[in-house]
Structure 1
Amino acid sequence: MSAASIRLAVTCGEPAGIGPELVALLAHRDSAAHLVAIGDKGLIAERARAIGLNLNVRDWVAGNTASAGVLDVLHVPLAAPCVAGQVDPRNASHVLAMLDAAIDGCVDGCFDAMVTAPVHKGVINDAGVVFHGHTEYLADRTGTAQVVMMLAGGGLRVALATTHLALKDVPAALTAESLATTLRILHADLRDKFGLASPRILIAGLNPHAGEGGHMGREEIEIIEPVLASLRAEGMNLIGPLPADTLFTPHQLRRGDAVLAMYHDQGLPVLKYASFGGGVNITLGLPIVRTSVDHGTALDLAGSGRGDPGSLYTAIDTAIEMVRARKGAE
């Protein structure tokens, strides 16, 4: 697949955050794909002016080809006026409409992948919409029964067996069925979307010292180990369960292509320490390719020009690599 034939949708995220100005910067960055911004074109232009960026915005229509120094924008209008740094629940519908446009474009083949700037989950919920995050929303909109959240950066790939749950709810959510499905999705996408013929996956235990033979919890014995044994019999290369406090060491990491952590804050602090500002959030298991930045809306930086676009650039480059690997596997 030639680079010029790849087209990515890039959503602007929370309009009061740094997303719109980071997206505006894409007009002046060389890319191996045609980037189409999805957002309010007036807001993008306004933020560009605020940070002193000379920006040429063009309404995107199907069939447009990329033009140097021009940002193609699929216009999704704001629902209410927006001030940098000041969230407004009235614009929750605007945020979701951007996501819907990107998802629909990927499903119908107009876009090869979607890249998302950060959203503010609290503001969307304040608007009366139950919203747990991009990952869950994308799964619902594409009719995907289960997806897997994975972050990559700093030489690491870390996927999660459970995502946005209170710590007290994690053990009950960690079932043999869900763990097996997660590992199957992770294995399949490492193969088909990352080009790894026989991926090696390191699996963390849930409890300290991976349960220490049942003295610190029995989830490893009763759930994790039986699932791993079953999937190994299917041909998967699975290593673990390993104590999480020593899993993220160079010796262990050299043994694997990705890590599966049991809960959000077990694996992601390490990943973000290694890569913050240059990491990428990837949703596995979807019928489409989706990547995202690894940071939040940074309301305090909106309109200042001090936002770091590194993670957005990495998310775009990762999406391009995944599209190429996926097309190569078809």
Structure 2
Amino acid sequence: MTMSRPIIGMTMGDGAGVGPEIIMKAMDDQAVYDNCRPFVIGDAKILERAGSVLQSKLTVRSISSPNEAQYVHGVVDCLDLNLLPADLPFGKVSAEAGHAAFMYLKKAIELANAGEIDAICTAPLNKEALHKGGHMYPGHTEILAELTGTKDFSMMLSAPKLKVIHVTTHVGIIDAVKMINPERVYKVIRLAHETLQKAGYDQPRIAVCGINPHAGENGLFGYGEEEEKVIPAVERAQKEGVQVVGPLPADTLFFRTTRGDFDIVVAMYHDQGHGPVKVLGLEAGVNITVGLPIIRTSVDHGTAFDIAGKGIADEQSMKEAIRQAIELAPKR
């Protein structure tokens, strides 16, 4: 039975943020080891520093490949890329921390592509630091897509009672409306359907948000975006047997979904989907990249530079991200 526990590679994220602390806090939980074989891809000395901030009893052990890991509670195995200085300042944007965060993720993707790990669970990176480090991506999702050669992907946020998948994410609102088209909406509906089916939903109930208030109210608001961009996609998916409805007014749809009317919401742009999930509590949400050939989950919060190094960051989102990685990982 123990051999069926998935191997989870956890990336340390930005070493100047709360990532190392929330990883050390999460790894202190015996239940994590009962359900998976976790190790960290990062810098051992930064994890050790986080441990001392937390007055943790855990030992950090440097390894050079996953097959050296022991996966025993009390010892945090770290695939040590040794990229950061031991005295990296807490809470400061730095090019070296941004570059290191990229390299941890790149290594994790290589291991996942080679079948050496079953899922990737990421601690937060800082976009400004990432860019300073020479990696011009909007975030984790786009790096994962490029390095796995994935064209159709989407960000899914999962919280208790609410799952949301996004048609567009890190772009301005005017650009988002331009980018929404029937093909993209259709692909995201299909991604929602297939992801939930893999997770055990027989016939997932999918609801699609409108772009405008009241989903345009039959042309009263907007310039016919719903008719042009959303309705053709919904009808196409319905013809294929997908249980999908919409476009529906976003102001009531999220409430209806938490009540149990639907299994997942297709949101049109970043804040339309992120706002409702974050109202449920930052510690509850998990960010999942769907459409990739590998499983990737993440905390749904940032690097929290303002509290880094204080030992007070909440690890619940990290633990939930690990739990969902275990749930979604292919079974060995």
- TM-score in terms of structure 1 length: 0.94
Distance across 1 between alignment mates of 2:66 and 2:125: 26
**Deviations, residues 298-318 of structure 1 (Å, cap 9, x unaligned):** 111111110000000000001
Q: Shift of the alpha carbon at 1:2?
A: 5.5
Q: Shift of the alpha carbon at 1:286?
A: 0.3
Q: Shift of the alpha carbon at 1:3?
A: 6.8
**Deviations, residues 167-217 of structure 1 (Å, cap 9, x unaligned):** 11111100111111111112111111x111211101100011101101212
Q: Shift of the alpha carbon at 1:290?
A: 0.3
User: What residue number does 2:54 align with?
Assistant: 51
User: What residue number does 2:27 align with?
Assistant: 27
User: What residue number does 2:274 align with?
Assistant: 268
* Aligned residue pairs, count: 325
**Matched position secondary structure for 1:223:** helix
Alignment of 1:43-192 (within 5 A): 43-60=46-63, 61-63=65-67, 64-80=69-85, 81-192=87-198
Distance across 1 between alignment mates of 2:204 and 2:297: 20
For the aligned residue pairs, the C-alpha RMSD in angstroms reads 1.7
**Deviations, residues 124-155 of structure 1 (Å, cap 9, x unaligned):** 11233211011111001100002110101131
* C-alpha distance 251-289 of structure 1, shift in aligned 2 (>3 A): closer
Alignment of 1:231-246 (within 5 A): 231-246=237-252
Distance across 2 between alignment mates of 1:71 and 1:25: 11
Q: 1:37 aligns with which of 4, 16, 40?
A: 40
Work out whether residues 66 and 116 of structure 2, in 8 Å CA contact, stay in contact via their aligned partners in 1: yes
Partner AA of 2:240 in structure 1: E
Alignment of 1:164-313 (within 5 A): 164-192=170-198, 194-217=199-222, 218-250=224-256, 253-313=259-319
User: What residue number does 1:317 align with?
Assistant: 323
Distance across 2 between alignment mates of 1:251 and 1:119: 30
Q: Shift of the alpha carbon at 1:26?
A: 3.4
Partner AA of 1:281 in structure 2: N
- TM-score in terms of structure 2 length: 0.93
Distance across 1 between alignment mates of 2:83 and 2:114: 24
Partner AA of 1:75 in structure 2: D
User: What residue number does 1:14 align with?
Assistant: 14
Partner AA of 1:38 in structure 2: I
* C-alpha distance 197-2 of structure 1, shift in aligned 2 (>3 A): farther
Q: Shift of the alpha carbon at 1:12?
A: 0.9
- Mean alpha-carbon deviation: is it higher for 211-220 or for 248-257? 248-257
**Matched position secondary structure for 2:66:** coil
Distance across 1 between alignment mates of 2:105 and 2:257: 40
Distance across 2 between alignment mates of 1:21 and 1:251: 33
Runs of 4+ more than 6 Å apart: none
- Mean alpha-carbon deviation: is it higher for 83-92 or for 260-269? 83-92
* C-alpha distance 28-3 of structure 1, shift in aligned 2 (>3 A): farther
* C-alpha distance 79-65 of structure 1, shift in aligned 2 (>3 A): closer
**Matched position secondary structure for 1:277:** coil
Q: Shift of the alpha carbon at 1:25?
A: 2.1
Distance across 2 between alignment mates of 1:261 and 1:3: 38
Distance across 1 between alignment mates of 2:256 and 2:189: 23
- Gapped runs of 5+ residues in structure 2? none
Distance across 1 between alignment mates of 2:317 and 2:195: 21
**Matched position secondary structure for 1:305:** coil
**Matched position secondary structure for 1:214:** coil
**Deviations, residues 207-265 of structure 1 (Å, cap 9, x unaligned):** 11101101212111112111111110001000111001111224785221100111010
Work out whether residues 99 and 135 of structure 2, in 8 Å CA contact, stay in contact via their aligned partners in 1: no
Q: Shift of the alpha carbon at 1:79?
A: 4.2
Partner AA of 1:138 in structure 2: L
* C-alpha distance 252-101 of structure 1, shift in aligned 2 (>3 A): closer
**Deviations, residues 250-288 of structure 1 (Å, cap 9, x unaligned):** 478522110011101012111111131121000000000
